């Protein structure tokens, strides 16, 4: 799959130790394992959980692991993962955004209305651009109230939840009698319904693996040149091989069905871009700092309010992208767009993926991992024909489990820190 955004040392990733212990593969693994034991779990629990889920459903159902179902799973989780990226940023600064689902719906409805043939019949790129501008502005407005008036984000975005659900209702009922507005633009419909040809799928897969190896090698070389401890080349080779195996297997399997979905490509680009922003830029560093210790960030001269505003704008923007994906998949928007459990799934995805609700800990890739877990569970339970109630209970228990892992690992880190 194209969604491999792992780039170099990331806060929360394996620690690099310059004493030389980590210059060998075994040394590196030892340092990593020490970190795990001390509560720096990173993505470990979620990957273990994902493997358990896949094995369970493969055994319990006939076609969980079929080509068609694998493709459906990706189509189902892409929008949730996209929106969860924004939530990861919000959680990183220790805030929450309860409005994402309806903000995404506002984006979808605005785009759809602008696309209506002849009325006003905007081209797809203009409609999408304006819709994303709207959702980003909504995030900005929430953030202004949160930072300037000092109201907790929980309350402000709860108000946003109600306000934007109302706006969606008003717009959809005003412009249609049946409450459903169909999308007719083929490009927009193609976002969630088109697939890459097998050849392009393979080219993409090779490009992703090559890019990963290149970034890792370059980082390692630079560090070596500066006489700092670097990731051993053997380990990079092993990781690249592992990534190649997973990616190529996924592409082969997807090509057996309809090919690599376009949404997966969009999601992969979003993950790579935002991972870079979070882990490798000054802004990303400030996001982590504000979540870790806002007072320290303020004293270090960081404009804490500006960072908070920016993350809510990211959340609004990514909500818009996710909303457009959902609308494209359904080929329409309706009065119930953005309702149901979409909000819960998005926040649960970010949290299950390993983003701490306490702020300051987590990676962008968590959005993908968490969305995969949720989509797998729901998809698997659907195949088993479980009742709705049972599905909610089980999804809830998984979320609870993820939060408990976070709480315990935090306690463990604190225990170690309190020497």
Partner 1 sequence: MADASPLLECRNVSKAFGAVQALWNVDFEVRPGEVMALVGDNGAGKSTLIKGIAGIYPFDAGQVFVDGEEVHIHGPRDAARLGIEVVYQDLALADNLDIVANMFLGRERTRGAVMLDEPNMERAARETLDSLSVTTVKSVRQTVAGLSGGQRQSVAVAKAVMWNSRIVILDEPTAALGVVQTRQVLNLVRRLAEHDLGVAIISHNLHDVFEVADRITVLRLGQRVALFEREKTTQQEVVHAITAGTLDAVPGMETPDAEAAPTEVEA
* Binding footprint of partner 1 on the chain (CB under 8 A): 9, 11, 15-19, 38, 40, 222-223, 226, 228, 280-283, 285-286, 288-289, 291-293, 295-297, 299-302, 360-361, 413-414, 416-417, 419
Residue holding tokens 């209970």? Answer: 393
d(CA 353, CA 355): 6
Closest approach of partner 1 to the CB of residue 72, in Å: 37
Query: Of 19 and 174, which has the nearer Cβ to partner 1?
Result: 19
Say if CB 81 and CB 367 are below 8 A apart: yes
Closest approach of partner 1 to the CB of residue 227, in Å: 8
Interior/surface letters 132-158, b for 16+ CB within 10 angstroms, e for the rest: bebbbebbebbbebbbeeeeebeebbe
d(CA 93, CA 266): 25
Residue holding tokens 């097998």? Answer: 198
Closest approach of partner 1 to the CB of residue 17, in Å: 4
Query: Of 270 and 302, which has the nearer Cβ to partner 1?
Result: 302
Query: Of 8 and 129, which has the nearer Cβ to partner 1?
Result: 8
Closest approach of partner 1 to the CB of residue 103, in Å: 27
Closest approach of partner 1 to the CB of residue 365, in Å: 17
How far is Cα of residue 419 from the mean position of the Cα atoms in its chain?
Answer: 35
Query: Of 109 and 229, which has the nearer Cβ to partner 1?
Result: 229
Query: Of 19 and 177, which has the nearer Cβ to partner 1?
Result: 19
Q: 297-306 long-range CB contacts below 8 Å, 24 or more apart?
A: 305/147, 305/148
Tokens of 384: 């088993």
Residues in contact with 405: Cβ distance below 8 Å, sequence separation at least 6, in sequence order: 41, 45
Query: Of 281 and 341, which has the nearer Cβ to partner 1?
Result: 281
Quick one: which of 390, 322, 315 has its CA closest to 140? 315
Closest approach of partner 1 to the CB of residue 42, in Å: 12
**Number of residues in the chain:** 419
Query: Of 40 and 95, which has the nearer Cβ to partner 1?
Result: 40
Residue holding tokens 């799959």? Answer: 1
Query: Of 68 and 218, which has the nearer Cβ to partner 1?
Result: 218
Tokens of 314: 């990211």
Closest approach of partner 1 to the CB of residue 319, in Å: 24
Report the DSSP beta bridge partners of residue 180: 334
Closest approach of partner 1 to the CB of residue 235, in Å: 16
Query: Of 40 and 97, which has the nearer Cβ to partner 1?
Result: 40
Say if CB 387 and CB 397 are below 8 A apart: no
Cis bond before residue 120 (omega within 30° of 0): yes
15: which DSSP letter?
P
Closest approach of partner 1 to the CB of residue 62, in Å: 45
Tokens of 152: 């907790």
Query: Of 118 and 299, which has the nearer Cβ to partner 1?
Result: 299
Closest approach of partner 1 to the CB of residue 45, in Å: 18
Tokens of 419: 């020497």
CA atoms within 13 A on the CB side of 327: 37
Query: Of 174 and 227, which has the nearer Cβ to partner 1?
Result: 227
Residue holding tokens 């390993």? Answer: 354
Phi, psi of 332 (to 5 degrees): -170, 165
Report the DSSP beta bridge partners of residue 333: 181
Closest approach of partner 1 to the CB of residue 189, in Å: 35
Say if CB 384 and CB 125 are below 8 A apart: no
């Amino acid at each position: 799959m194209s969604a491999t955004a792992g780039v170099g040392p990331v806060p929360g990733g394996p620690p690099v130790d310059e004493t030389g212990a980590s210059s060998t593969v075994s040394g590196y693994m030892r340092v990593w394992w020490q970190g795990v034991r001390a509560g720096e779990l990173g993505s470990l629990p979620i990957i273990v959980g994902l493997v358990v889920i896949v094995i369970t459903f493969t055994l319990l159902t006939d076609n969980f692991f079929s080509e068609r179902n694998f493709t459906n799973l990706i189509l189902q989780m892409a929008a949730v993962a996209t929106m969860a990226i924004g939530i990861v940023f919000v959680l990183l600064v220790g805030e929450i955004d309860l409005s994402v689902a309806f903000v995404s719906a506002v984006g979808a409805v605005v785009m759809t209305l602008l696309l209506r043939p002849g009325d006003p019949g905007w081209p797809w790129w203009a409609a999408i651009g304006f819709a994303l501008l709207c959702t980003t502005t909504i995030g900005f407005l929430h953030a202004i109230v949160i930072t300037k008036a000092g109201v907790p984000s929980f309350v402000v975005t709860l108000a946003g939840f109600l306000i934007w659900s109302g706006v969606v209702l008003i717009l959809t009922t005003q412009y249609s009698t049946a409450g459903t507005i169909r999308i007719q633009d083929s490009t927009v419909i193609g976002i969630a319904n088109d697939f890459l040809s097998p050849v392009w799928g393979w080219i993409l897969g090779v490009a992703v693996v090559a890019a990963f190896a290149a970034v890792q090698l370059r980082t390692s070389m630079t560090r070596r040149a500066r006489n700092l401890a670097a990731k051993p080349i053997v380990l990079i080779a092993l990781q690249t091989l592992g990534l190649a195996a997973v990616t190529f297997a996924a592409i082969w399997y997807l090509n057996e069905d309809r090919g690599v979905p376009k949404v997966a490509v969009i999601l992969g680009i979003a993950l790579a871009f935002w991972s870079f922003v979070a882990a490798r830029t000054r802004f990303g560093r400030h996001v982590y700092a504000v979540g870790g210790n806002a007072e320290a960030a303020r004293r270090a001269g960081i404009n804490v309010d500006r960072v908070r505003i920016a993350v809510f704008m990211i959340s609004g923007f990514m909500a818009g992208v996710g909303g457009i994906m959902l609308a494209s998949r359904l080929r329409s928007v309706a009065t119930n767009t953005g309702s149901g459990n979409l909000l819960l799934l998005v926040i649960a995805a970010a949290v299950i993926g390993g983003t701490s609700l306490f702020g300051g800990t987590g990676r962008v890739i968590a959005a993908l991992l968490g969305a995969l877990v949720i989509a797998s569970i729901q998809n698997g339970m659907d195949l088993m024909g479980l009742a709705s109630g049972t599905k909610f209970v089980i999804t809830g228990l998984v979320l609870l489990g993820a939060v408990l892992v976070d709480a315990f690992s935090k306690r463990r880190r604190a225990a170690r820190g309190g020497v």
